[in-house]
Amino acid sequence: MSSLYGAADEQENIKILNRAIELGCTLWDTADMYGFGGNENPLSKVLKEHRNEAFICTKFAFLQENGEIKVSDKPEYVRQACENSLKRLGIDYY
């Protein structure tokens, strides 16, 4: 859904996500690394109307520090990554 593989069309992504819900595709996997968090923006717009119909999974571990991408499993990073993702998704639980 992000522009990692080419130009992203948010309206088209929202249509796809709504259709996925209609078809019963309710396990949505995301990560803060996808579009550097931008992948979660179209998800948030669809979740406003379909929150109880989707189960959200998210991944984290990669962070950018001093221009380098690093891996972190520090508890404070894990907590912050989850909070940031919840905020971007516009939800309060996964």
If one counts the domains in the chain, the total is 1
- Is residue 10 a part of any domain in this protein? no
pLDDT at 7: 81
d(CA 87, CA 80): 10
- Is residue 19 a part of any domain in this protein? no
- Is residue 36 a part of any domain in this protein? yes
- Is residue 54 a part of any domain in this protein? yes
- Is residue 42 a part of any domain in this protein? yes
DSSP assignment letter at 92 = S
pLDDT at 93: 80
94 is catalytic: no
What is the reported pTM? 0.81
- Is residue 16 a part of any domain in this protein? no
Q: Which of 34, 77, 93, 94 is catalytic?
A: 34
- Which pLDDT tens digit goes with each residue over 39-61? 888 899 999 999 999 999 988 88
The four Cα atoms 33, 58, 15, 5 give a dihedral, to 10 degrees, of 30
Quote the domain boundaries for residue 90: 26-94
Q: Of the ranges 31-35, 51-55, 85-89, which one carries the lowest mean pLDDT score?
A: 31-35
